[in-house]
């Protein structure tokens, strides 16, 4: 004798549907949370890498430098080499690092004359600069005559703050510490660094604050 199987009642179907819905919502919520976590983790890693790369670039630029002629707040001026005119600071030997607060970018600016420019014109333009002017000049601006030859490099983006801390006031400092905060939307990475000049020319500096000269 065969008996017919009993089908699901309406109440059982509704309950099964409710359970399936709850499970589906839970799975969707977990998937969304995992996706959001991964995105935030990737963004954090990008900020971390950006800060590290900027710190490395700063160290590579500053270690062989001769003088840090200005360093305060979120900017600094560096005499990077002495190849043009011995014992004189020339226009093309100066590198400026500053935070562009309007774009959130840490910038590096150097004057570079094109190869097509005649030697006599380069000599005329690449004049020597008084050390006293480099200890107080704003690094965010450039003289109009040189602006067209400025080469600007972005060291880091999404920069919240950049602070420099010389061991003694420039241009007598041989050690510079810095703090770089990179990030956005409440997610930031702080990168600390320090640079010791390998062959500083601080022994050639004399004078007092605001009136330093290079001997």
Q: Does the pLDDT at position 215 exceed 80?
A: yes
Q: What percent of the chain has pLDDT over 70?
A: 83
Residue 119 lies in a domain: yes
> In the chain, which ranges are continuous DSSP H helix?
10-62, 119-125, 131-134, 144-147
Q: Give the per-residue pLDDT at 102.
A: 94
Number of domains, the chain: 1
User: What is the gyration radius of the CA atoms in the chain, in angstroms?
Assistant: 29
Residues in the chain: 215
Average pLDDT score, the chain: 86
Q: Is position 197 within any domain?
A: yes
Residues 1 and 132: their CA atoms lie apart, in Å, by: 112
Q: Is the pLDDT higher at 113 or at 11? A: 113
Give me the mean pLDDT over the 64-89 stretch: 92
- Check residue 152 and give its pLDDT: 93
Residue 168 lies in a domain: yes
Q: Has residue 143 been placed in a domain?
A: yes
* Residue 127 structural domain: 41-214
Across the beta sheet with 67-72, what order do the strands follow?
67-72, 75-79, 94-100, 105-111, 150-156
As beta bridge partners, residue 70 has 77
For the whole model, what pTM was predicted?
0.79
Position 29 scores a pLDDT of 63
Residue 16 lies in a domain: no
> For position 45, what pLDDT does the model report?
86
Structural domain includes residue 121? yes
Helix (H, G, I), strand (E, B) or coil at 18: helix
In tens, the pLDDT along 17-37 reads: 777 777 776 767 666 665 564
Residue 4 within a domain: no
How far CA 196 is from CA of 68, 98, 139, 182, in Å, comes to 11, 19, 21, 23
* Whether the Cβ atoms of residue 67 and residue 207 lie closer than 8 Å to each other: no
Q: What is the pLDDT of residues 196-206, one digit of tens each?
A: 999 999 999 99
β partners of residue 72: 75
């Amino acid at each position: 004798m065969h008996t017919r199987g009993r089908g699901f009642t309406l109440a059982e179907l509704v309950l099964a549907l409710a359970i399936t819905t709850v499970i589906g919502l839970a799975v969707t919520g977990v998937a969304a949370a995992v996706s959001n976590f991964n995105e935030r983790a990737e963004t954090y890693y990008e900020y971390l890498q950006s800060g590290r790369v900027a710190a490395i670039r700063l160290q590579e630029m500053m270690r062989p430098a001769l003088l840090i002629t200005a360093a305060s707040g979120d900017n600094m001026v560096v005499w990077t080499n002495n190849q043009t005119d011995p014992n004189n600071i020339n226009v093309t030997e100066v590198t400026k690092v500053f935070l562009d607060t309007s774009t959130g970018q840490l910038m590096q600016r150097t004057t570079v004359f094109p190869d097509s420019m005649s030697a006599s014109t380069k000599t005329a333009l690449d004049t020597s600069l008084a050390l006293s002017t480099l200890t107080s000049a704003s690094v965010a601006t450039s003289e109009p005559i040189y602006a067209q030859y400025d080469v600007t490099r972005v060291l880091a983006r999404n920069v919240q703050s950049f602070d420099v801390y010389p061991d003694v006031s420039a241009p007598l400092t041989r050690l510079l510490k810095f703090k770089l905060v990179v990030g956005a939307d409440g997610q930031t990475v702080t990168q600390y660094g320090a640079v010791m000049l390998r062959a500083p020319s601080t022994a050639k500096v004399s004078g007092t604050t605001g009136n330093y000269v290079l001997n």
